[in-house]
Structure 1
Amino acid sequence: MGRWTAGKRLRQVMVFVHVAVSVGWLGAGAANVVLAMTAGYTGEPGVREVAYRLIERIDDFVVIPAAFLTLVGGIVLGAVTKWGLTRFWWVLVKLVLTVAVIVYSTFGLGVWVEQSITAAAAGVESPVAGQLAYGAALNIVAFLAMTWLSVAKPWGRTPWSRPPVVARRPRLSEV
C-alpha cells in the first residue's frame, strides 16, 4: 500500500494557506525593514523608540506566528504531496532557508531589537541599528529566494529520492 497523498482540492487549500501565510511573513518582514531603517536614520529619539517597539509588536503578533505556520505548513505539504521534504532540491533548500531565517531572526534580529529598545529608552542611538536594519533586509532576500524556488522548481531530484513507481501494463502474453 502506497503512502497517502492529499486530493486536489485539499492540496489547493493547503497551498493557498501556505502561500498566504508566507506572504504575510514577507510583508511583516518588509515593514520591519522600513521601521528599522527609520529608527536607524532618524535624529528624533521618540521616533526611534516607537519604531523599535513597533518592530517588537510586529514580531510578536505577525512574524513569529507566520514563521512557524509557514514552517509547519511546508512540512505538512511535503508530507502529503508528491514533492516530499527531501525528494527535490528546491523543497529541501526552502526548508533549510526557512529554518535558517527563523534561527537568525531569533538569535540575531530578536536580540538586536531588544538591545535597540533598551538604547532608545535610555535616549541613545542603538549600537546595533545598522545590523538590525540590514539583517532584516537580508531576510527579505531569503524570502524572495524561497519564492523564486517555489516558482522555478530548479535542480531536479536529490540523491535521497526514490524514482516514482510507474505502473506497467501487463503484456498480452501475461494475460
Structure 2
Amino acid sequence: MSEFLFKTGEATVLAAEGQYTDAMPEVLIGHVNGPVGQAFANMMGQTAGHTRMFAIRACNQMVRPATMMVPKVTIKSSAYINLFGGVVQSATADAVLDCVIEGIIPRDQANHLCIISLIWLDPECVKDPNLDEKDLYRTNYEATKLAIQRAMRDQPSLEELIANRHSIKHDMFDPDA
C-alpha cells in the first residue's frame, strides 16, 4: 500500500420506515505517525456533551485500526450514550474489523493506521419507544463500512464529481428550487 497523509470518506444509509436510525458517518483515516495520528491522540481528552470513545467489539476487544468514535450531536442523556456506546459502537467496530478481513484496509497496515469517525445518532431515536436497535446496528454497520471503502478507494473520483456537478443536488437543499 502506498503511503498517504490521510484519506476521507462518508456514507449515508437510510433507516427502515418509521425509524430514526439513519447513519451518516464521516471518516478520516491516516497513519498513527502523521496528522491523523496527532488528531487522534489530541481527542483523548473529553469535552462536555461530546464523549469520545474507542470502537470496541466487546470489553477488552478494541478493533484495529484503532478507531475513535466522535458524536456529531451533543449528548444530553444517559439513554443517548447507552445507544452510542452500545449498538453504534458495536456496529462501528464490526465494520472496521470486517474491512480488515475483506482487505479494504490492508491487514499489514492495521496497527499503523487510525480512524476518526464522526457519527450521527438522531436524538429522536432515544425518545422512540419502538426503536429497532437491529436497524440502528444495520445502518451504522453498512454506512461505516461504505465510508471506509470510499476513503480507501478515493471515491467518488474527481471525474465522477465533475460529471454529475449539475445533475445531482444536495438532499436537504436545492439551489434551483
Q: Which of the pair has the greater relative contact order for Cα pairs under 8 Å at 6+ separation?
A: 2
Structure whose alpha-carbon radius of gyration is higher: 1
Q: Is the pair's TM-score, using the shorter chain for normalization, greater than 0.5?
A: no
TM-score by length of 1: 0.28
> By percentage of residues, which structure has more helix?
1
> By percentage of residues, which structure has more strand?
2
